[in-house]
């Protein structure tokens, strides 16, 4: 099954990165200042593979899925780490 992770970062090296399971509000403005320069945020979407039957809980901002030991809930950062580690059931699309 595929879901979308929403990524917000800035066009400068070593800038912070924020991840979300729900889209960022388009009316909000985010900036990052480095060495006196102001950078506007850049949003993008990343499609990832998660275990079949997974559910995004938009209110709690969690992904619910079934693992070897039963029902599991993961934050977006944990989901991203599972994708990066190529854990069974998770992956890049």
pLDDT at 36 over 90: yes
- In eight-state DSSP terms, residue 90 is -
Q: Which residues contact 43 (CB under 8 A, 6 or more apart)?
A: 6, 7, 8, 24
Question: pTM for the complete prediction?
Answer: 0.89
Chain length of the chain = 93
52-81 per-position pLDDT tens digit: 999 999 999 999 999 888 999 999 999 999
Q: Which residues contact 18 (CB under 8 A, 6 or more apart)?
A: 7, 8, 9
pLDDT at 26 over 90: no
Residue 3: other Cβ atoms inside 10 A: 16
Question: Structural domain of residue 58, as residue ranges?
Answer: 2-92
Supply the pLDDT for residue 68. 86
- Tally of domains in the chain: 1
């Amino acid at each position: 099954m595929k879901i979308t992770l929403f990524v917000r970062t800035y066009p400068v090296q070593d800038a912070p990165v924020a991840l979300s399971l729900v889209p960022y509000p388009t009316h909000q403005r985010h900036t990052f200042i480095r060495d006196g320069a102001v950078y506007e945020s850049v949003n993008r979407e990343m499609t990832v593979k998660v275990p079949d039957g997974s559910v995004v809980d938009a209110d709690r901002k969690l992904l619910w899925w079934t693992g070897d030991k039963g029902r599991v809930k993961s934050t977006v950062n944990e989901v991203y780490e599972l994708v990066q580690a190529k854990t069974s059931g998770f992956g890049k699309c």
